[in-house]
């Protein structure tokens, strides 16, 4: 299932890696595509939208929608 | 010996850690204090100023002076 998040606070490549790692810890089978300049995080995962949003927030970023 | 660098491009805490780690790889005895909002990196190390600047640059940041 495809999940699209608007995530603020990702300022550099390290942040992209941190978000990706947090998602993959939750779901090792997830694929993550980040377009940082647009604050977009696209996730292919069978995990729930809420669970995915939660790990992004726990990593220190804001999920806007 | 105390070294003060002005370093641009550090946008978040991950960047601070990356700069610190690069310096400590060069000199495990170094102490590093970063004031990111002022672009300041203060290093206590017996390594040369040029060597320290080099590892910061190699990590992907600009050393302004």
For residue B65, the model assigns a pLDDT of 74
Q: Which domains does chain B have, with CATH numbers?
A: 2-63 (3.30.70.100)
pLDDT at B32 over 90: yes
Residues A5-54 pLDDT 10s: 999 999 999 999 999 999 999 999 999 999 999 999 999 999 999 999 99
Return the pLDDT at A65. Answer: 74
d(CA B61, CA B10): 7
Partners of B18 on chain A (C-beta within 8 Å) are 14
Closest partner residue to A11 (CB to CB) among B11, B17, B18 is B11
| Residue B50 pLDDT > 80 | yes
pLDDT digits (tens, 9 = 90+) for B4-22: 999 999 999 999 999 999 9
Note the pTM of the prediction, 2 decimals. 0.84
Residue B11 sits at the chain A interface (C-beta within 8 Å): yes
Question: Which residues 19-38 on chain B approach chain A with CB closer than 8 angstroms?
Answer: none
- In terms of Cα–Cα distance, which of B14, B29, B47, A14 is closest to B5? B47
Does residue A15 sit at the B interface (CB-CB below 8 Å)?
yes
């Amino acid at each position: 299932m495809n999940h699209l998040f608007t995530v603020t606070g990702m300022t550099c490549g390290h942040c992209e890696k941190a978000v990706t790692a947090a998602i993959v810890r939750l779901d090792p089978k997830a694929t993550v595509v980040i377009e940082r300049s647009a604050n977009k995080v696209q996730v292919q995962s069978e995990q729930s939208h809420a669970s995915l949003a939660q790990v992004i927030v726990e990593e220190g970023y804001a999920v806007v929608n």
